């Protein structure tokens, strides 16, 4: 499975094709699905472009996207930096009238167990975001761990060797727990492509998009999210252990 992460907390200063409004998100969703993405992850925005969990903004984004790609699963972030006016994050999610297929919940956050339980109680799938071995150890102790849709191994380290080591430590904790929950592994900025290739080698799910980085494997800036998805799928058709000279050039 290849998930497209459309925007995250990025702005159009980061990349001019970062989708923000419901219409932009819907158009971008259609483009990445046409390029080969099988799921979507996004951060809805309010009228000023700020990330939000506000029920009306969430509904507008989801309805616009589903009108374009009705059969594609859509996931939303619930990270602690998202503010929804006077509503706390948990209360905002309780008030959603249009539901995503799943949400991502970061185990580094104090209220992660409450957010997971709330989402599951509303019939929303949960991606459990693990940034570290400590996050993994916390997660496997939760009663809801086996009920989660998938586990996200989310690597923030920018040194490739360090990032791969953190991912390996997380996978070790998960293996010992024998959860039998699908795993998606991804990096950020400098580690996007090394962690993606490592995921391919291990037959894990992957994630690519402007939320995580704007560069193609050759270092050039991608035209948009669809170009990043095309590059990822091109890599997936080449065994990850081939030397660089054996790898076909990647274009947008």
Q: What is the pLDDT along the chain (252 residues), one digit of tens a residue?
A: 999 999 999 999 999 999 999 999 999 999 999 999 999 999 999 999 999 999 999 999 999 999 999 999 999 999 988 876 666 889 999 999 999 999 999 999 999 999 999 999 999 999 999 999 999 999 999 999 999 999 999 999 999 999 999 999 999 999 999 999 999 999 999 999 999 999 999 999 999 999 999 999 999 999 999 999 999 999 998 655 544 444 344 333
| Fold exhibited by the domain 2-246 | TIM Barrel (3.20.20)
The whole-number pLDDT of residue 245 equals 41
| Nearby residues of 129 by Cβ (< 8 Å), 6 or more positions away | 104, 105, 106, 107, 108, 135, 152, 154
Domain borders along the chain are: 2-246
- Closest residue by Cα to residue 113 from 82, 85, 78: 78
The whole-number pLDDT of residue 249 equals 41
The whole-number pLDDT of residue 81 equals 86
> Counting Cβ atoms within 10 Å, is residue 212 exposed (0-12), middle (13-18) or buried (19+)?
buried
Radius of gyration of the chain (CA): 17
Count of CB atoms situated within 10 Å of the CB of 239: 11
pTM beyond 0.85, yes or no: yes
Contact 33, 67 (CB under 8 A): no
Q: Determine the number of helices (DSSP H) and then strands (DSSP E) in the chain.
A: 8, 8
Spatial separation of the C-alpha atoms in residues 9 and 32, rounded to whole Å:
19
Tokens standing for residue 216: 């193609």
| pLDDT tens column, 28-53 | 999 999 999 999 999 999 999 999 99
């Amino acid at each position: 499975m290849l998930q497209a992460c459309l925007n995250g907390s990025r702005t159009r200063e980061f990349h001019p094709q970062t989708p923000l409004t419901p219409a932009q998100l819907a158009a971008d969703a259609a483009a990445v699905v046409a390029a080969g993405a099988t799921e979507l992850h996004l951060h809805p925005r309010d009228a000023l472009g700020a990330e939000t969990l506000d029920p009306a903004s969430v509904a507008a984004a989801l309805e616009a996207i589903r009108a374009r790609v009705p059969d594609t699963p859509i996931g939303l972030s619930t990270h602690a930096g998202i503010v929804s006016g006077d509503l706390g994050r948990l209360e905002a999610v309780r008030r959603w009238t249009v539901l995503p297929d799943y949400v991502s919940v970061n185990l580094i956050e104090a209220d992660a167990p409450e957010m997971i339980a709330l989402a599951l109680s509303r019939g929303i799938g949960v991606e459990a975001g693990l940034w570290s071995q400590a996050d993994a150890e916390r997660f496997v102790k939760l009663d809801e761990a086996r009920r989660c849709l998938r586990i996200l191994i989310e690597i923030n380290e920018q040194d490739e060797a360090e990032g791969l080591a953190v991912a390996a430590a997380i996978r070790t904790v998960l293996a010992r727990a024998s959860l039998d929950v699908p795993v998606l592994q991804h990096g950020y900025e400098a580690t996007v492509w090394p962690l993606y290739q490592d995921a391919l080698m291990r037959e894990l799910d992957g994630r690519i998009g402007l939320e995580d980085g704007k560069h193609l494997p050759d270092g050039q800036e991608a035209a948009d999210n669809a170009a990043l998805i095309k590059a990822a799928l091109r890599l997936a058709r080449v065994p990850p252990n081939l030397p660089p000279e054996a790898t076909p050039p990647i274009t947008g």
